[in-house]
Structures are given as C-alpha cells and as structure tokens.
Structure 1
Amino acid sequence: MKKRMFSLILAVSMIAALLTGCGGSSGGGEQTADGEQTYNWRFAHEEPVGSIQDQYVHKFVETLSEKSGGRINVEVYPVGQIGDATQQTELLQNGGIEFAMVSPGNTGTIVPENQLFSLHFLFSDDMEKNKEIFKTSKALNEMLSAKYLEKNIKVLSYWPEGFMQWTSSKKLEKPSDFKGFKMRTMPSPMIVAAYEAYGANPTPVPYMEVYSGLQLKMIEGQENPLSAIEEMKFCEVQDYLTLSDASLYVTTTSVNPQFFDGLPEDIQNIILETAAEMEDYGFQIQAELNGGALEQIKATTDVEVMTLTPEQREEFKKASMSARDKYVGMVGEKGKEILDALVSEIEAIESK
C-alpha cells in the first residue's frame, strides 16, 4: 500500500512538473506567421538511448514533423528520465504526457487481457506471418484495444521487438531444466505463470537491475530480445544463450485518448498515418538490431549459443499449454474470447 501511494505521489509530481514546463496538456504551442497552430508534445519510452524503442520513437517523431510541415515538435524521454515504465504509463493515463510506448509485460495489472502476449508458442515462428497477424488481427486491433481504451490508453499500433530468447547459468534444453530455476521476469502475472508451467521460480526484477542481479547470482537467467541482451551486456554474466523463440516481446505505440480526441481532425489524421507507416519500420528495425546483436554477442563473449530443435520446441510447447488455462482464469470470459479469436486468426494465417 505504501509503495502504491509513493508511486501515485511521484506520478502526480511528474505531471505537475511536466505541465508547468510544457504549457499544459493541450499540447498547443505558438501560432506560425500564417496563423497555423504549432504543437509541443512528449513521448516516453521504456528503453535506453539507442534501443529499438528509442530508434522507433525518434523515427515516429521525425515523421510527425515532416507530415505537419514542422508544426509538430515532440520531446523524447527514454526510460528513467521521468520514471520507470509503470510510472510512464500512469503519466500517459493521467495526461501528463501525450504519447508512450506501453508494453504488456509492464501493464499486466492495468490491462489484464494483454497478458496473452506472454503466452509461449502462441505466435508464428515466421516473422513475416506475424507482421500480417499484427496488421490484420481484429482480436488485437479491435477487441483488445477496446480493453486498453477502458483504462484510458488509446493504442495506435501493436508491434514486436523480436523473439524472446533465454540467457542462463545452465543449459535449458527441456522443461525440467527450469525446475527451481530463478528466472527474472517483468512484473506480469502471466509471465510468471508461463515460467511456473515449466517448474521455474520466476523472480520479478526491474530492468535496470537485471545485470547486477545476474552478476550477484540473485537470479540465474532472464529473457529478452537479442538486441536488449547485447545492449545490456547480459551475456557477460551468463554461460548460455538459448534461441528458443518461445514468445514475442510486444509493445504498443499509445496516446492519451482525451488529448487525441481534442486535436483537430487533420492533426489526428497525421498521427494515424504516421502510426500506420511505422508498422513496417518497427519490424525492419527489430530484424536489423537483433541480427546484428547475435553476431556481436558471438564475437565479444564466451557464451555458448544453443538453438532449440523442433522436437525440443514441441516439448516446451506442450508444457506451456497449462498457462493458457491460467490466463483464462485471470481474465475471465471476455479475455478468453480475445484469445480464442486470436488463435483462430493465427491458425488461418499459418495455414496459408
């Protein structure tokens, strides 16, 4: 209770500071010489400078500026500058910032239905098929987005930062290898349940504390896309890197709905067009950074790189299915409807 109260006080303090420094939540600036309105907005993301999210956000901001003829100016806040990922989400909900990257792993208690992204072996192992799923899925873009909107978050797009891979202090080749294993997770009930299905001991740890946790052996392993693993140097303090492709790290490009609804229609259209155009860029940048990261890891560390065989993946997939029942138990019938619809959409695309 005290921790929650502290978080709320901190969020309120941040909002006050941001509104004071930026002229309020309307996002308006000065008028140009020809009488057109300019806009000054804020966009927070969950990762360090140079990361996938950071590059995506800067491209998003650049595109907004170009499409608006320089009328839209956006200040970018990497993680830590105005709070952690959870605090940034609270700021977005409360109107303290206009845009944020909101990842399901950090918002599972806010929008419980989004925890389907944490289920293992749900999506295709073919990223081109996943691109089609994210662009066309009604389960995500309509049904799940409605759940976000109920929590005062308007999702502009869902996109993955890559497959989640495992680093560890021992080999992880079959589900029983996880028994009692202290696996770092994000503070998501579903991620915890996913690893409990293998018999692991999931241990939530803040992202910026994972390296020291591994180094001090407070935790024994972690999961992340390859770009994050390389960027954070996790392989320096781990013995094995397992390419499991067990799940996707999915994030959302989101906006405060009251702010968005209060904008002129032409400005709204610029935002929507930019979000749509950025979908391909998100897939492109994750492919580039994750591919380069693996080569860098191999060249600069002694970590042993292993790839799960199809047979090993199937064994993990079977063990992971019990987590789907836990998901339904957590989110109820409405969440089950979203999951069932998404599974049907994925199966249809996989069968093409």
Structure 2
Amino acid sequence: MQLRNIVIGVTAMGLVGVASSAFAETWRFGLEETEGSVQYGYAEEFKKLIEEKSDGDVTVQLLPYGTWGSNYSALYDAIQNGAIQIGFGSGFLGGTVPESQLMSLNFVMPNDQLETAKILNSDAFLKSDPWQQSFRKRGLVPLGALPEGYQVWTANKEIRTPEDMKGLQIRVMDNSLLRATYEAYGAAPITIAYGELYSALQQGQAEGNIQPVFAHENMGFYEVQDYMIFADQSQFVANLIGNQDWYEGLSDEQHKMLDSVLGEMVQKGHDIQTQFNSERLDTIKEKSDIKIIHLNEQERDAFRKLAKPVRQTYIDMVGERGKESLNILLDQIDKADSKKSQ
C-alpha cells in the first residue's frame, strides 16, 4: 500500500509538470549581434531572471544575429508582426522608428556611462509620451535601453581633427542621421552590411569603421585597420523593444515581473558592457600592433562644434515627437549634472 501511494504521488507530480510545461509561455528574444556580444550577454542575464521570477512559467528563447536572417529590417518586421516578441533595435531601427535616431546624436549623452544608462531607462524619459508614441505608432513598445560602450573609430590613418577625416569612406549603419553626422565631420560615409564589413575593410572598399570596442574585437575588424581612435563622441545604444499587442496582453503579474527584471538590468547591462569592452580592448592590444589614440578635450571640441547643428537636422528629419524627446533627454541630463554639482 505504501509503495502504491508513492507511485501515485510521483505520477501526480509528473502530470503537474506536464501541465505546467504545457501552459508555459515562450518569449522569443531577437538580437542584432552574435554570441559573445554585449547584447547576447544582456539577453542571457535577462533570460535567467525572467525564468527564475516566473518559476518556469515563461521561457526565453535567444535568437542571435543570423538565426532570423541577415537584414535588420527582417528582425524589426518580425517584432512588429509578433513572430518575435522582444528584441533590440539600434542604428538601423531609424528606418522603422525615425525618432529612435535620437540615440545616434553625437556629444549629447553624459560622459558617465552608468549615468547615461540610468537616464535612458528612467520613467521621465523612457515612459514619456513622445518617446512611447514614437514606437507605439509602429506597433512597438520601448522597454529599455542598453548603452553598449563608446563608439570607437578605426582607420588606416591617424585621425585627430575633422581635416584628418575629410573624404574618409567610413562605414556607418543605414541611418540617415549618422550619415549627416559624419558628413558634417567631412567624411564620406558609406553603408555596408555588418556581415560583409570585415572583407570590405580588408579589400579597401571601406576605409574606416565605427563600433564599440567589443564589436571591433568580436568581428576581428581591428585585424584589418591600423588605428583605433577614442573620441568619446557617442555611446552605442540599443533600444529594447517589444511587440505592442504582446506587451499589452501580458497579465498584471507579468508586467510587474518584467518591470522588476528591467530595473535590475540597468546596472547589470552596464556591468556587462564595461567588462566586455575592457577585456576586449586588452585582447586587441595583445593580439595586434594597432595604434590607439585618445583625443584630448581640445580635439574633441572641434568635432563637438560640428556635431551640434545635427540636432536640428534630427528635428527636421523626424518632427515634433523627436524634438520633444530630445528636449526631455537634455532636461534629464541637465538635472543629473546639477545634482552632481551640489
């Protein structure tokens, strides 16, 4: 009798497990980057927290670059139509959400990279009506932002002034604001698919490149460039976006869980990018003789002056919601600076 009861108990537990797994949700998470990237590191931690906090009721499936296609618009389309519930959108997202090009403006964000992460994920900015509506008008919801480290230039010549960049065929993402920015610097920006960039640099089809440090190392771009230039002009920011119908269909409990996880991921995302970029820079130094240049404040100022008018270019491109979002962002940066100076 005792053995029979144990068998019945075990069987019942098994049925509960089957029932539980049958009702488990799967959130598909699309990434613009490959394994070994900051986005992938963030997504792994996000997956761990969601699955823990949901007690297994939600599983997160990671879809790195290449598993959903090679054209970024295919990823954004999949999120818009709900085939993928959540994902990242960075510079290329400007074709889908023009206002998102705000993240591409140079010399806007605080020098303190953690402060940037906090401001971009603050309710005051992230949940502001103009920023939310910019995405919701396209069937998307902005859930957060992941600054992935400073964008670093590489080239086959030394760059310290805009004159040095004159005519340089530097690769930029398919983003009209980025093109306008680098045209203002005097360069001749070109767009090349990420997966084709290494060979383009190697064969001279592109003369320069713009990436966070981890991407230069992860994709081996530093192997085919002579100089790496740190101008600290902008951080590479990936917007975390969700399908609007999916997001609005979440239960109150799931919304609270998601908000809790996203709150934790602000610091975790910063820690991940800091570690990745530091370790990858060490790897680049160890494996190559690439020359590293850090622009001084006077040299940065020359580029800063050329970049400032591009703010109006952004407003002209995207309209009132973009202008309001920019003003909210600048206001939050000013408030953060004021607190530091007190």
TM over 0.5, shorter chain: yes
Q: Partners of 1:261 and 1:333 in 2: how far apart? A: 26
Q: Partners of 1:212 and 1:163 in 2: how far apart? A: 24
Give the conservation status (yes or no) of the 8 Å contact 1:137–1:345.
Answer: no
How many pairs are equivalent? Answer: 322
The structure whose Rg is larger is: 2
Q: Which moved more, 1:324-333 or 1:59-68?
A: 324-333
Give the conservation status (yes or no) of the 8 Å contact 1:184–1:223.
Answer: yes
User: Which residue in the other structure is 1:224 paired with?
Assistant: 211
SS in 1 for 2:28: strand
Give the conservation status (yes or no) of the 8 Å contact 1:242–1:307.
Answer: yes
- Of 28, 40, 52, 2:26 maps to 40
How far residue 159 of structure 1 moved from its aligned partner, in angstroms, is 2.0
How far residue 35 of structure 1 moved from its aligned partner, in angstroms, is 9.7
Alignment of 1:298 onto 2:268:
no
Alpha-carbon spacing, 1:49–1:189, altered in 2? closer, same or farther (3 Å): same
User: Which residue in the other structure is 1:135 paired with?
Assistant: 121
How far residue 251 of structure 1 moved from its aligned partner, in angstroms, is 0.7
Structure 1 unpaired stretches of 5+: 1-29
Give the conservation status (yes or no) of the 8 Å contact 1:31–1:37.
Answer: no
Alpha-carbon spacing, 1:35–1:338, altered in 2? closer, same or farther (3 Å): closer
Q: Which moved more, 1:248-257 or 1:263-272?
A: 263-272
With normalisation by structure 1, the TM-score equals 0.87
- The 5 Å alignment of 1:194-213 reads 194-213=181-200
How far residue 247 of structure 1 moved from its aligned partner, in angstroms, is 0.5
How far residue 34 of structure 1 moved from its aligned partner, in angstroms, is 6.7
SS in 1 for 2:121: helix
SS in 2 for 1:218: coil
- The 5 Å alignment of 1:17-166 reads 32-33=18-19, 37-84=23-70, 85-103=72-90, 105-136=91-122, 138-142=124-128, 143-166=130-153
Alpha-carbon spacing, 1:174–1:34, altered in 2? closer, same or farther (3 Å): closer
Superimposed CA distance per residue, residues 135-192 of structure 1 (whole angstroms, 9 cap, x where no aligned partner): 3362343231221111111111112011101011111101121111101000000011
- The 5 Å alignment of 1:228-267 reads 228-267=215-254
How far residue 344 of structure 1 moved from its aligned partner, in angstroms, is 2.2
- The 5 Å alignment of 1:275-314 reads 275-314=262-301
Q: Which moved more, 1:151-160 or 1:301-310?
A: 151-160
Amino acid at match of 1:161: E
Superimposed CA distance per residue, residues 17-63 of structure 1 (whole angstroms, 9 cap, x where no aligned partner): xxxxxxxxxxxxx9854799311231110101111111111111111
With normalisation by structure 2, the TM-score equals 0.90
User: Which residue in the other structure is 1:191 paired with?
Assistant: 178
SS in 2 for 1:42: strand
Q: Partners of 2:20 and 2:35 in 1: how far apart? A: 36
Superimposed CA distance per residue, residues 187-235 of structure 1 (whole angstroms, 9 cap, x where no aligned partner): 0000111101111111011111111110000000111110111111111
SS in 2 for 1:97: coil
Structure 2 unpaired stretches of 5+: 1-15
User: Which residue in the other structure is 1:173 paired with?
Assistant: 160
How far residue 310 of structure 1 moved from its aligned partner, in angstroms, is 0.8
Q: Partners of 1:42 and 1:321 in 2: how far apart? A: 38
User: Which residue in the other structure is 2:10 paired with?
Assistant: none
How far residue 236 of structure 1 moved from its aligned partner, in angstroms, is 0.6
Give the conservation status (yes or no) of the 8 Å contact 1:167–1:241.
Answer: yes
Q: Partners of 2:55 and 2:123 in 1: how far apart? A: 32
Amino acid at match of 1:72: V
Give the conservation status (yes or no) of the 8 Å contact 2:118–2:266.
Answer: no
Give the conservation status (yes or no) of the 8 Å contact 2:131–2:321.
Answer: no
Q: Partners of 1:34 and 1:305 in 2: how far apart? A: 54
Q: Partners of 1:234 and 1:165 in 2: how far apart? A: 12
SS in 2 for 1:53: helix
Cα RMSD (Å): 1.8
Amino acid at match of 1:174: T
Give the conservation status (yes or no) of the 8 Å contact 2:117–2:145.
Answer: no
Q: Partners of 1:228 and 1:35 in 2: how far apart? A: 37
User: Which residue in the other structure is 1:320 paired with?
Assistant: 307
User: Which residue in the other structure is 1:8 paired with?
Assistant: none
Q: Which moved more, 1:229-238 or 1:36-45?
A: 36-45
